Amino acid sequence: RGGDGAPRIPFAEPGSLTKVFAVASGKGGVGKSSVTANLAAAMAADGLRVGVLDADIHGFSIPRMLGVTTKPTRVDDMLLPPIAHEVKVVSIGMFAPQGKAVVWRGPMLHRAVEQFLSDVFWGDLDVLLLDLPPGTGDVAISVAQLLPGSQIVVVTTPQLAAAEVAERAGLVAAQTEQDVVGVVENMAWLDQPDGTRLELFGSGGGDAVSAGLAETLGHDVPVLGRIPLDVRLREGGDGGVPVVVAEPESPAAVALRDVARSL
Ligand code: ADP
């Protein structure tokens, strides 16, 4: 514990060498968790020491996507996280009562995120990725308070209606000490058998979020990558072997790995 009695969060200490990225989206279903799981696996495959904290209380899906079936083990007063694809994984879902939804209110969520950051034995990490719930709710605010040095990665689809809400998720940074490092446009297109690209969700969403955030935040917010729709990406998530591991040469995996290396 710190001198003021608050739990000690190593990632928030001055001089911490761990880069912390909070992966955010405006709404659910845009692939935020898929992107988080694949970035983590890609970074670990590159030899980085990586942890993922799944704080998406509404749709905790990281354990399945990374193929984690066990819970953290308690050793003294610390929790040892399970490891999959060389990634240390802790999910709020691992602590949810069996068969029940998580119906925690703000203060409990804050406490839970704080505990995951302070009581889990993460060891020395190069990168910690946080999978935030969609939107700008309690957890996003807690993360901004507990980890002011964390950087936000915004995931959106190309659809302009989706981009508008995604931009709001990034704008949390304007009111906190956080910064937005860039935008990932997921589900950008579908490669068809005849070689053409079908823009199933339209186009321009990534650029719109990038331009909107750059204007408000006053600095460049690049589109870090565009990830195509790919059945193998979905299958990898369902099967617990991320596409960057299962099909590393597929276009979606290549695009995700490029994003991971840009962070
Ligand atoms: P979110 O975390 O934003 O709610 P998920 O990562 O859970 O979104 O993705 C929603 C669904 O879409 C999942 O079934 C996932 O496998 C699928 N999905 C996400 N991105 C892609 C993609 N690029 N190609 C194919 N399926 C995808």
Question: Per-residue pLDDT tens for 192-236?
Answer: 999 999 999 999 999 999 999 999 999 999 999 999 999 999 999
User: In testing the pocket of ligand 1, which one of 30, 34, 247 has its CB within 8 Å of the most ligand atoms?
Assistant: 34
Residue numbering of the annotated binding site for ATP: 26-33
Closest residue to atom 14 of ligand 1, CA basis: 234
CB 92 within 8 A of CB 60: yes
Ligand 1 in reach of 223 Cβ (< 6 A): no
What's the 31 CA to ligand 1 centre distance in angstroms?
A: 4
pLDDT at 34: 98
Ligand 1 in reach of 29 Cβ (< 6 A): yes
Atom of ligand 1 nearest to the CA of 37: 6
Closest residue to atom 22 of ligand 1, CA basis: 229
What's the 188 CA to ligand 1 centre distance in angstroms?
A: 12
pLDDT at 244: 98
pLDDT at 3: 54
| Domain 26-262, CATH | 3.40.50.300
pLDDT at 4: 64
Residues 6+ apart with CB under 8 A from 139: 55, 56, 57, 109, 113, 132, 133
Ligand 1 in reach of 157 Cβ (< 6 A): no
In angstroms, the CA 99 to CA 80 distance is 24
CA–CA distances in Å: residue 74 to residues 71, 78, 119, 123, 187: 9, 6, 10, 15, 39
Ligand 1 in reach of 237 Cβ (< 6 A): yes
Domain ranges of the chain: 26-262
pLDDT at 253: 98
CA 69 to chain centre: 19
Q: Which residues in the chain come in under a pLDDT of 50? A: none
Ligand 1 in reach of 188 Cβ (< 6 A): no
User: In testing the pocket of ligand 1, which one of 234, 244, 254, 259 has its CB within 8 Å of the most ligand atoms?
Assistant: 234
Ligand 1 in reach of 225 Cβ (< 6 A): no
| Beta bridge pairs of residue 53 | 90, 130
pLDDT at 104: 73
pLDDT at 107: 83
In angstroms, the CA 121 to CA 119 distance is 6
In angstroms, the CA 47 to CA 161 distance is 38
pLDDT at 239: 97
